[in-house]
Amino acid sequence: MTTLQTEQHGAKAHSDGDWDNRAPVQTRSERFKSANRADFPEVTGREVNWKYTPVAELKALTDGELESGNTALSVPETAGVEVSQVPMDSEFVGRAGLPEDQAAANAWTQVGSAQRILLTSQERQTVTIKRDSLSKNPAAAHTIIEAAPQSDTVVILENTGDANLTETVEIVVGEGAHLKVVSIQEWNEDAVHVASHNVTVGRDGNLQHIVVSLGGKIVRVNPSIHLDAQGANGEAYGAYFADAGQHLEHQVYMDHNAPHTRSRVAYKGALQGEGARAVWIGDVLIRRVASGTDSYEENRNLTLTEGTRADSIPNLEIETGDIEGAGHASTTGRFDEEHIFYLQSRGISEDEARKLVVRGFLFDVIQRIGNEQIEERLQTAIESELEQSVLA
């Protein structure tokens, strides 16, 4: 497996090979990638992809020794699902991209093997994968979710309990396949979870990627979705609720790397309590070869109390003018008082009106899961969060 490139992380050499005078990386696609932790410098928090993250609290995951967390993933035995362990030098590893940061590379270097889940059913199938037996020891995991050509599957990843985990989830969507991957983070309140979801979508393939982050002290789930063949469709949705002292982060990369590709990105979050922090960074790259692209990304945040902070940074790079459309939007603010007034005029109290607005705001994303039982459970979790809110 190739791990070295002619670039350094966040910079590249001038043509004379002088690394002491580095030019900054100009586009998201040029970031350094390697599966070897030793190829990355120490994380300082000044790097472009770490500067919003509490890196001091992730030292064990970016630099430390890790135990394997693969066995904590429980995959059901059922028709249309084939599970195997493959070595990290296998041809099945790395097809969706190499690590772009130290935490992912550290896991890749130490995990030892990857758990490959091959999905073959051409009839719509739901596969629920649970992970609830991790400890607080620093751990690494590597999971490959592969949708065979023309398959149609919903995969739900449920993360609960303790965790101090860095992982890569590789997602490979075959030609004409339909795959929905839902990653739910309901960790214990002191859990730490850093995840890179690397995705490649084949010709006429369709991916829906949904992230719901509610529990955990620090949760950072970064999907990188590469639309690598003509007609590929990628949709990335997210919902999150940050409480006091909680850090929830999502860096989304949508890479249009073929003609007539389509993408939609929509993340919504609510924050309450002193020190509640949410970070959303959305990068969309429309390459020179991606004529006919149709793309849009947005992030919306509701700040429910004083003392919260939401960083929302949409980025759009377009290398060709031959596109169907592209745009982005970002908003962060308090309640729309007109909505509150309307509900109050219908006899609903102000506190209940504010709660209804938050429920509807986040449910717009959660309902995309398409599983009534899970949607109800997440709504109950949000209700519990709101009951603790001052909603000032």
pLDDT band at 338 (very low <50, low <70, confident <90, very high): low
> pLDDT: is 50 or 347 the higher one?
50
Mean pLDDT within 275-279: 97
Please tell me the predicted confidence (pLDDT) of residue 371: 93
Please tell me the predicted confidence (pLDDT) of residue 14: 35
Mean pLDDT within 239-267: 97
Nearest to 385 by CA among 307, 218, 270: 270
pLDDT value at 21 more than 50: no
DSSP code of residue 273: S
Nearest to 192 by CA among 42, 27, 59, 296: 59
Please tell me the predicted confidence (pLDDT) of residue 343: 58
Please tell me the predicted confidence (pLDDT) of residue 15: 35
At residue 166's C-alpha, the angle toward residues 163 and 167, to 5°, is: 115
pLDDT band at 360 (very low <50, low <70, confident <90, very high): confident
Measured between its terminal Cα atoms, the distance across the chain in Å is 54
Please give the model's pTM, rounded to 2 decimal places.
Answer: 0.91
pLDDT band at 390 (very low <50, low <70, confident <90, very high): very low
Query: Buried (b) or exposed (e) across 267-301, using 16+ Cβ within 10 A?
Result: bbbbbbbeebbbbbbbbbbbbeebbbbbbbbbbbb
Nearest to 167 by CA among 197, 198, 143, 141: 141
